C-alpha cells in the first residue's frame, strides 16, 4: 500500500506565482495623503505593524491554497496491495437463428419432444455457464442481425437474454451473412489470438446484404474462427408425411465452407443429444493462455486537498470583504474594552 501522484509533473507549477511576480512590472506607489498629521513616524510604525501582520497572513493562506490546488491537480492516489488477475479465455460471440423454422418440434430434450429453439436455449445455457473466464456476446438474427448483448464476462446476463429471445423478433427469414458481418465488427477490435464465433442455424441464407461465404473470408482476414452448427432432424414426420419444417432447407455446403474458410468446423445436430455433444466439443477448445495481469486497486484522494484549498480561498476572500474588516474592527473594540 502506498500513496502516489498520477500526474507528478504538475508539481512543476508550484513556483509559477513567484515567476509571474518577478515578470510583472512593480505596482505604482500609493499617493500621499492630502491631510498631514503630527507625529507621522509613530502612525506609520503602528500602521505598518498591523498591515504587515494581515499581509503576512494573507500571503500564507494564498500560498497554502495554491499548493493544495496544485497537489489536487497532480491527482494523489491511494494504491492498494497488488492482486493477481489471471487472464485465460477468449472473446466468443454466439449467433442464434430466430427465423420461423426454429419453431419446428423435431428435437428431443430429456426424452421429450421440443422445438429447435427450446433445445438451443437449454443446451446453450449450460454451455454459457461453463465459459468462466471468457467474454461472451449474443447476436440474434432473422431478416437482419441484431446485437443482443455486447461482449461481457457476465454469463448470467447472456443466459437471461438468450432465455428471453422470442422467435420472429428479428424476422422470419435468415440473414447468415449479416450475422457474420456484425460479429466481425464486434470482434475485430479484440485480441487476434482468441476471437471465436459460434453460428447456429437451421436454414439457408435467404435475407441480408452480405454473402455468407464472402463474410467468412472477411472473418478469416481478421483471424476470427467460425464454428457453424446446423440444427434440425433429417426428417420430421407428421401423420406419415414429411413436415415442411424438416432440415432439407439446411445449407450444409455453405456452413461447411464458412467454417473451413476461417479454420473452424461444421457440426451437425439432429437432436438434443447431438447438440449437447457439439457444445462439449467446442467447450473443449484450448483457451489461449496469457500471462497473469497484476491489478492494484486505486482510490482517488484529490478531493481532500481540493476541498481544503476551496475552504482556504473562501477564508482569504472573506478577509478582503467589508464584512471581514467589520469583524476585525469589532474584535479590536472588544479587546480595547477588555
Q: For residue 106, what pLDDT is reported?
A: 79
Q: For residue 215, what pLDDT is reported?
A: 92
Q: pLDDT digit string (tens) for 94-142?
A: 999 888 888 888 787 777 888 888 888 888 888 888 887 788 899 999 8
Q: For residue 108, what pLDDT is reported?
A: 78
Domains detected in the chain: 2-24+37-80+297-337 (no CATH), 88-289 (3.40.50.410)
Q: pLDDT digit string (tens) for 186-217?
A: 888 776 667 889 999 888 888 888 899 999 99
Q: pLDDT digit string (tens) for 151-180?
A: 888 888 889 999 988 887 777 888 899 999
Look up the pTM and report it: 0.57
User: Above pLDDT 90, what percent of the chain?
Assistant: 22
The 3-class SS string of the chain reads CEEEECCHHHHHHCCHHHHHHHHCCCCCCCCCCCCCCCCHHHHHHHHHHHHHHHHHHHHHHHHHHHHHHHHHHCCEEEECCCEEECCEECEEEEEEECCHHHHCCCEEECCEEECHHHHHHHHHHHHHHCCCCCEEEEEEECCCEEEEEEEECCHHHHHHHHHCCCCCCCCCCCCHHHHHHHHHHHHCCCCCCCEEEEEEECCCCCCCCCCHHHHHHHHHHCCCEEEEEEECCCCCEECCEECCCCHHHCCHHHHHHHHHHHCCCEEEECCHHHHHHHHHHHHCCCCEECCCEEECCEEECCHHHHHHHHHHHHHHHHHHCHHHHHHHHHHHHHHHHC
Q: pLDDT digit string (tens) for 243-290?
A: 444 445 678 899 999 999 999 989 888 877 888 888 888 776 545 455
Q: For residue 256, what pLDDT is reported?
A: 92
What mean pLDDT comes out for the span 71-77?
A: 92
More confident of the two residues 207 and 307: 307
Amino acid at each position: 500500500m502506498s500513496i502516489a501522484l498520477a500526474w507528478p509533473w504538475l508539481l512543476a507549477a508550484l513556483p509559477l506565482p513567484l515567476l509571474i511576480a518577478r515578470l510583472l512590472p512593480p505596482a505604482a506607489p500609493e499617493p500621499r495623503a492630502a491631510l498631514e498629521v503630527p507625529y507621522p513616524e509613530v502612525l506609520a510604525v503602528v500602521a505598518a505593524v498591523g498591515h504587515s501582520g494581515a499581509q503576512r497572513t494573507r500571503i500564507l493562506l494564498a500560498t497554502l491554497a495554491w499548493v493544495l490546488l496544485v497537489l489536487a491537480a497532480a491527482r494523489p492516489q491511494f494504491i492498494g496491495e497488488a492482486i493477481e488477475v489471471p487472464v485465460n479465455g477468449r472473446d466468443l460471440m454466439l449467433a442464434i437463428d430466430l427465423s420461423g423454422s426454429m419453431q419446428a418440434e423435431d428435437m428431443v430434450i430429456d426424452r421429450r419432444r421440443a422445438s429447435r429453439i427450446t433445445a438451443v436455449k437449454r443446451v446453450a445455457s449450460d454451455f454459457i455457464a461453463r465459459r468462466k473466464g471468457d467474454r461472451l456476446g449474443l447476436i440474434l438474427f432473422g431478416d437482419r442481425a441484431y446485437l443482443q448483448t455486447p461482449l461481457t464476462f457476465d454469463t448470467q446476463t447472456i443466459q437471461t437474454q438468450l432465455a428471453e429471445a422470442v422467435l420472429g423478433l428479428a424476422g422470419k427469414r435468415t440473414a447468415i451473412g449479416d450475422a457474420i458481418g456484425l460479429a466481425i465488427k464486434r470482434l475485430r477490435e479484440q485480441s487476434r489470438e482468441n476471437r471465436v464465433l459460434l453460428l447456429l442455424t437451421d436454414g439457408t441464407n435467404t435475407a441480408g446484404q452480405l454473402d455468407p461465404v464472402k463474410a467468412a473470408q472477411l472473418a478469416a482476414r481478421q483471424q476470427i474462427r467460425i464454428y457453424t452448427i446446423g440444427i434440425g432432424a433429417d426428417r420430421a414426420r407428421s401423420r406419415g408425411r414429411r413436415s415442411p419444417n424438416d432440415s432439407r432447407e439446411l445449407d450444409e455446403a455453405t456452413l461447411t465452407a464458412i467454417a473451413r474458410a476461417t479454420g473452424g468446423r461444421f457440426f451437425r445436430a439432429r437432436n438434443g443429444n447431438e447438440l449437447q455433444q457439439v457444445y462439449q466439443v467446442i467447450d473443449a477448445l484450448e483457451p489461449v493462455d496469457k500471462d497473469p495481469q497484476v491489478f492494484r486497486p486505486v482510490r482517488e484522494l484529490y478531493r481532500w486537498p481540493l476541498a481544503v484549498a476551496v475552504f482556504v480561498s473562501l477564508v482569504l476572500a472573506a478577509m478582503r470583504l467589508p464584512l471581514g474588516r467589520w469583524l476585525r474592527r469589532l474584535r479590536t473594540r472588544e479587546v480595547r474594552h477588555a
